[in-house]
Structure 1
Amino acid sequence: MRKIRNRWLQWLLVLGLMLPALPAKAAVQFSDVSAQANGWALNSIYLMAQNQVLTGYPDGTFRPGQTISKAEWSTMVYRLFDKYRPNLYATGLQKIDGFADVSNQHWAYKQISELYSHSFNWGVYGLSANGGLMFHPDIQLTRLQLADLLYSFFDTRLVDRRLSPNDVCSVVSNFKDIPVKLFQDKAQYEEASRSDGRYSPTGIIMMTSNDVLPTLFMGSGSSDCSFGTDGFSNAQASILASLQASGIMTSDEGGYFRPLDKVTRAEAVTILNRIYNYLYKNYWLADYSTIELESSGTGSGSGSTGGGSGSGSGSFSNNPNQTSYGGGGLGPNSGGWSNQSIVNVTDYFNDQGVITKDLQKNGEIETAVLPKEKRYLTIDLKSIEKVDLTVILDGKMAYLSQEELPKTISVEGVQIVGLRTQQRNPNPLRQSVTATLSVKLDLNEPQTTKKK
């Protein structure tokens, strides 16, 4: 009787993923999801529910705070990115024939078997006592474990290759709960990578559930460091910095990434939504998915409490649900950010700190600046047509009209500054709207910009 009961409980836990598909684009409601409690994830929850990526339970709940397993995450990816099947199409040494702990009777056998090939290098696999490859499908994913998984997903396209090793080091060093060790001696560096048990004798990085492995760099400080020979450190640092820059997974305002916190269902669908948007904005989505996410019907709102019309308050808001210019959520056609942690990076400054873009043809400028040790940031935006700017400083949001620019703001202690343009009076009949965004970082406040 006990075995039967335990098996029933186990299947109940995964029932949210096993329910029959809902009718396409059906309007859904969940009794335990509200704008007040879940505003930051509301749009993602209903988008994913409408598209059967992660559904609710028979009692009408979604259970947003319930944690997810590695198998559940894999199933969500499998459903949303329906063209992404690395192991199904893998050949030769890249092909994985199976896992010792995922039998063909496991409820997520098909999804796991078709997704994970040997191209997933870090934080995915372990070894059994007799050397068999282990997947650990039922572990409850931590935020750091998920970040490590994401390094290999989507052909490593979530890793921003434009971030230099020193940029990566600077970002990761600012996380207060991700340990970083710096070495000036190469032999000491290599000994550190061998001595903490991170690798199995065969070279596989070991899955850990209760530890945060330190990230190792060569150098003397966050402004003078580079990658060493430890592949796992380089991969973990690269994905953490990239996720922070893109806004897919970020630290909180205090600089805490919360690496050992378990990933909840609400967080999982929000992260998936952001990945979808990131791939969309970089013109990669067609490689991975045929699904078009679009809000419709009940519960599709973003929980926005404010907007603005480009008048520019000049002050920064901590409201996590505030949406710039009535942006309407996280969809690929969104007009703005709808969560304090969202900083999208699709455009990059040249060596002079300038971006010039035709907003009419190529969309709004979305970029970010890493202040590092600098204390002041001067921003300017020039365009014949009226174009305003949203600024996010570690989650604090402000709206600046074009008339208020150039403007110098204090960025002391700030990890990342997000910048997004917005046409004030968009007109589809215009041939072009060329805008030039420029930034300059200074250690001391520029004298020419001080108010009299």
Structure 2
Amino acid sequence: MQWKRIALLTLCIVSLGTMPTNAATFKDVNTQHWYYSSVERLVKHNILSGYEDGTFKPQQPVTRAQAATIIANALRVNKEAIVPPRFTDVAKTNTHYEAIAALTKLGVFQNSEQFFPQQSLTRKQMAKILVEAFKLKSSGIVTYADVPPKSWAYEYIGILGALGITTNQGDFYPNQAVTRAQLAAFIERTIDMKRKDNDNDIWDTWKNW
């Protein structure tokens, strides 16, 4: 029965060779997707999470409320020692209330009458949030054809370009909605940059990043 043992051994070798070396956490995030490593890394560090059906929904736009929770997770902010914000459209029962309140206290969000939690986060809004939340600075800025100097987001977007957090060239598309996959990539690049700068902050202490 020597031939059977050889056949069985051959089958095992073939099977092992075709097994994925790094299985995806979510059924809609393939290992070949450009955002795969960003999503996996942020999930591992409890910054992002998926949905109960096992999906991540990478192409779904991020709402402003969802973005608040994701950024708060990345900053490891204290969501208990908060000051109630003035927003009339964010109830205390809102799942993202503590994160919104905490970031507002830190000055990431302006404490105004409305927050518009269900609106999709735009790319220019994201630029401001990242700069304010991670205290990003650069000696210069990168300009984009579709972001005029008079825009309130001009410097924020320019800083992301200068630091390589956005890889866009020519146009930035400031009014487009940010998808969950895109936000994962932006946050990963931001933390990568913060870990390499000269400031001592919480991201420098993270192991296995």
Q: TM-score, normalised by structure 2?
A: 0.76
In structure 2, the CA distance between the partners of 1:87 and 1:241, relative to structure 1 (3 Å rule), is farther
In structure 2, C-alpha distance between the alignment counterparts of 1:87 and 1:116, rounded to whole Å: 13
Q: CA RMSD in A?
A: 2.7
In structure 2, the CA distance between the partners of 1:52 and 1:287, relative to structure 1 (3 Å rule), is closer
For residue 108 of structure 1, report the CA deviation from its aligned partner. 0.8
- The aligned residue for residue 78 of structure 1 is 72
For residue 47 of structure 1, report the CA deviation from its aligned partner. 0.8
| Greater Rg by CA | 1
In structure 2, the CA distance between the partners of 1:287 and 1:279, relative to structure 1 (3 Å rule), is same
Q: 1:101 aligns with which of 74, 79, 89?
A: 89
- The aligned residue for residue 197 of structure 2 is 282
Task: Report if the CA contact (8 A) 1:159-1:238 is conserved.
Answer: no
Q: 1:257 aligns with which of 172, 176, 179?
A: 172
1:237 to 2:166 alignment:
no
1:136 to 2:116 alignment:
yes
Task: Report if the CA contact (8 A) 1:87-1:115 is conserved.
Answer: no
Note the alpha carbon deviations across 1:403-425, whole angstroms, 9 max, x for none: xxxxxxxxxxxxxxxxxxxxxxx
1:179 to 2:138 alignment:
no
**Secondary structure in 1 aligned to 2:201?**
helix
Q: 1:153 aligns with which of 118, 129, 133?
A: 133
**More helix by percentage:** 2
For residue 276 of structure 1, report the CA deviation from its aligned partner. 1.0
Amino acid at match of 2:90: V
Amino acid at match of 1:30: F
- The aligned residue for residue 43 of structure 1 is 37
For residue 113 of structure 1, report the CA deviation from its aligned partner. 1.2
Task: Report if the CA contact (8 A) 2:148-2:154 is conserved.
Answer: no
In structure 2, the CA distance between the partners of 1:99 and 1:248, relative to structure 1 (3 Å rule), is same
Task: Report if the CA contact (8 A) 2:104-2:110 is conserved.
Answer: no
- The aligned residue for residue 374 of structure 1 is none
- The aligned residue for residue 110 of structure 1 is 98
For residue 248 of structure 1, report the CA deviation from its aligned partner. 1.0
Task: Report if the CA contact (8 A) 1:81-1:291 is conserved.
Answer: no
**More strand by percentage:** 1
Note the alpha carbon deviations across 1:157-182, whole angstroms, 9 max, x for none: 3121x22xxxx4xx32xx122234xx
1:60 to 2:48 alignment:
no
For residue 153 of structure 1, report the CA deviation from its aligned partner. 1.7
For residue 51 of structure 1, report the CA deviation from its aligned partner. 2.4
**Structure 1: gaps spanning 5 or more residues:** 1-26, 90-94, 128-132, 181-213, 216-231, 295-452
In structure 2, the CA distance between the partners of 1:57 and 1:86, relative to structure 1 (3 Å rule), is closer
Task: Number of aligned residue pairs: give it.
Answer: 187
Note the alpha carbon deviations across 1:112-156, whole angstroms, 9 max, x for none: 112212734xxx4475xxxxx2222221101111112233223xx
Note the 1:52-451 alignment, pairs <5 A: 52-82=46-76, 84-85=77-78, 88=81, 97-117=85-105, 119-120=107-108, 124-125=109-110, 127=112, 133-154=113-134, 157-160=135-138, 162-163=139-140, 168=141, 171-172=142-143, 175-180=144-149, 214-215=150-151, 232=152, 236-252=153-169, 255-284=170-199, 286-287=201-202, 291-294=206-209
**Structure 2: gaps spanning 5 or more residues:** 1-22
In structure 2, C-alpha distance between the alignment counterparts of 1:119 and 1:125, rounded to whole Å: 6
- The aligned residue for residue 21 of structure 1 is none
In structure 2, C-alpha distance between the alignment counterparts of 1:149 and 1:80, rounded to whole Å: 12
Structure number with greater CO (CA < 8 Å, separation at least 6) is 2
Structure 1 vs Structure 2: percent identity of aligned residues? 27
**Secondary structure in 2 aligned to 1:99?**
coil
For residue 283 of structure 1, report the CA deviation from its aligned partner. 4.0
Note the alpha carbon deviations across 1:37-78, whole angstroms, 9 max, x for none: x22x11111111222321222322221111101111111122
**Secondary structure in 1 aligned to 2:120?**
coil
For residue 291 of structure 1, report the CA deviation from its aligned partner. 4.2
**Secondary structure in 1 aligned to 2:62?**
coil
- The aligned residue for residue 345 of structure 1 is none
In structure 2, C-alpha distance between the alignment counterparts of 1:118 and 1:48, rounded to whole Å: 22
In structure 2, the CA distance between the partners of 1:30 and 1:285, relative to structure 1 (3 Å rule), is farther
